[in-house]
Amino acid sequence: MLGLMRTTDVVRRTFGRVLEAHGITLQQYNVLRILRGAGDSGLPTLEIGSRMIEESPGITRLIDRLEAKGWVRRERCPHDRRQVLCWITATGLAVLESLDEPMSEADDRALSMLSTEDKSQLIRLLDAIRAGSR
C-alpha cells in the first residue's frame, strides 16, 4: 500500500504542476471535466461530488470558486428546489480546451515507461483493489 500511496502522490504532483501554471487546482479541473461530460443537461451538485476522483466534502465551496471565476453557472432545479444544477460555461470550456494538450502530455509522461500491456494490467489491478475496498 505504501508504494501505491507514494505513486499516487508523485502522479498527483505531476498533474498539479501543469494545472498550477494555469491557475487551477486538480479538484477544480476534475469538476470542469465532469461538467463538460454532462453536456447541456448539467448536473446536481451532489452528483458532481459523487463523481469526483477524490472525495470532497466542500463541493459547494469548490463550485463557489469556479462560479466566481466564471467557469461554472448554477441555478436551483425548478422541479426540486433542494437541488442545485450546475453547468460549465463557455469560459470554463475554453479553460479545459487549453489544458487538454498539456494534461494529455503529462499523462503520457507519467506512464511512458509502461507498455500497452502493462497499462492494461495496471488498470485491471487498480480496478480490483477499488472493487475489493467497497
Which residue, among 11, 132, 131, 28, has the nearest Cα to 88 in the 3D structure?
A: 28
Nearest-angstrom CA–CA distance, 109 and 31: 23
Nearest-angstrom CA–CA distance, 88 and 86: 7
| pTM attached to this predicted model | 0.88
Residues facing 11 on adjacent strands: none
What is the chain's pLDDT, residue by residue, as a tens digit (134 residues)?
899 999 999 999 999 999 999 999 999 999 999 999 999 989 999 899 999 988 877 899 999 999 999 999 998 877 777 788 999 999 999 999 999 999 999 999 989 999 999 999 999 999 999 898 87
Going from N- to C-terminal start, the domains of the chain cover 2-100
Tell me which of 3.40.50.700, 1.20.120.160, 1.10.10.10, 1.10.1040.50 is the CATH number of domain 2-100.
1.10.10.10
Nearest-angstrom CA–CA distance, 71 and 28: 10
